[in-house]
Amino acid sequence: MTFSALKAALDNFKIFTEEDWQMLVPFLEVRELKKGELFAEEGKYSNEIGFVLNGMMRHYYSKDGEQYTTYFYFENHFVTSYISCIKGSPSELSIEALSDCSLIVFPYDALKSLFAKSINWQAFGRLIAEYIAIGLEERMVGLLIDSPEERYIKLIEGNKKKIIERVPQHYIANYLGITPVSLSRIRKRISQ
């Protein structure tokens, strides 16, 4: 079984030695999810980190029967209910496969043990935490300050084109915090 895609992604950090990589290998497994299956589920403890080999997933919160999509994952993305992992508490979010997916999965506890064994793994943990913090702040600022049309324009002009290309329109509308009808109107205005 090969884990070369994950190794290549970790090599992009330019901090890992072969010895660091070998520390993680015993904990890796490949998991297949069918469309609609959950990787993390609201109300349940999550202790896994995934690396998407193929497919797409969405990260969402639920309240009063409504779902609020906040993030999408595609190939070569790490995926996890990070706060559940860190706090050891039930997840406040769900992560659903939007297509059949293949992932490399490993326990967060294994990663935590690597933090204690290697300065390079500690650096990785810090870099991932920084990446998450940046993403959360960008998302929060966009929702609080930008209009729905501005959020859509940033989506089509930014580095998230996979969302436009691959995600069903009703999930894109949900991600933007608008209805599918509003999204259609915005798309029509922009295309004119």
> Does residue 95 contact residue 101 with C-beta atoms inside 8 Å?
no
**Residue 60 CB contacts under 8 Å (≥ 6 apart), including other chains:** 67, 68, 69, 70, 93, 94, 95, 96, 174
Quick one: DSSP state of residue 26? G
pLDDT, tens digit, 9 for 90 and up, residues 94-126: 999 999 999 999 999 999 999 999 999 999 999
Instruction: Give mean pLDDT, residues 7-13.
Output: 88
In percent, how much of the chain has pLDDT > 70?
Answer: 99
Q: Cα separation of 37 and 57, whole Å?
A: 10
Residue 48: CB atoms within 10 Å: 21
Question: What band does 158 get if pLDDT is binned at 50, 70 and 90?
Answer: confident
Quick one: DSSP state of residue 185? H
In percent, how much of the chain has pLDDT > 90?
Answer: 76
pTM, rounded to two decimals: 0.91
| Structure token digits, residue 88 | 């050891």
Question: Looking at residue 14, what is its pLDDT?
Answer: 86
Domains and CATH numbers, the chain: 4-116 (2.60.120.10)
Question: What band does 132 get if pLDDT is binned at 50, 70 and 90?
Answer: confident
Instruction: Please give the helix or strand (H or E) that residue 104 lies within, else none.
Output: strand 101-107
